[in-house]
Amino acid sequence: NANPASLTFGSQQTGVSGAAQTVTVSNTGGVALAGVSFQITGQAAGSFSTGATTCGGALDSGASCTVGVIFTPATTGGSAATLTVSSSTAGVTAVTVALSGTAQAASGLNVSPALLTFGAVTPGATSAAQTVTVSNTSSYAAGTLMFGVTHGFTVTQYTCVGSLAAGASCTVGV
């Protein structure tokens, strides 16, 4: 027996592992189960993995053990797979646990203004800096931001240090 019969993981960012959820495996039969194993199959099998387990080489009759299941979405949208719990003991029927989760892209970075216009500048001289505000409108923190400019322009100042929290903004001078 496996309990619960399904696991649903909350929405999270692609490529980021969420907290493991636990499945309890119980031996309700009259003999010990040998070689308890776990396999994840299905279209999104690569987004789920098993983690820590207390299931050893054998599971005595009436005993239970646990296995952690981790969701690390590979793509945005919904993901579904199946965890199959089986034993090498002859005559034992495998049990399944339905797995599902949703992933969102960490989109939502916006810049304002979207275009900077500099007036005429004498060759070798430096114009006054203009500031761009970077806003994170997503529900996830954005990792370390990197800024690049083409030849002739430089980043003069910025307040975007480390990750940019959800709903936060910072500035970059050019």
Which residue has 């203009």 as its token pair? 130
Average pLDDT over residues 19-23: 96
Lowest mean pLDDT among 4-13, 78-87, 125-134, 144-153: 144-153
Mean pLDDT of the chain, nearest integer = 90
- What is the Cα–Cα distance from 54 to 16, expressed in whole angstroms? 25
Give Cβ neighbours of residue 135 (< 8 Å, ≥ 6 apart): 109, 110, 111, 112, 168, 169
Above 70 in pLDDT, residue 19? yes
Helices (H) and strands (E) in the chain, counts: 0, 14
Beta-bridge partner residues of 78: 102
pLDDT per position as a tens digit, 25-79: 999 988 999 999 999 999 999 999 999 999 988 999 999 999 999 999 988 888 9
Above 80 in pLDDT, residue 84? yes
Lowest mean pLDDT among 28-32, 121-125, 145-149: 145-149
Comparison of pLDDT for 49 and 11, the residue scoring more = 49
Exposed/middle/buried for residue 131 (C-beta within 10 Å: 0-12, 13-18, 19+): middle
Half-sphere exposure of 25 (CA within 13 A, CB side): 27
Above 80 in pLDDT, residue 150? yes
**Cβ distance 162 to 145 under 8 Å?**
no
Give Cβ neighbours of residue 16 (< 8 Å, ≥ 6 apart): 72, 73
Average pLDDT over residues 133-148: 82
pLDDT per position as a tens digit, 86-115: 999 998 999 999 999 988 765 678 888 888
Average pLDDT over residues 116-127: 88
Q: Report pLDDT for 77.
A: 84
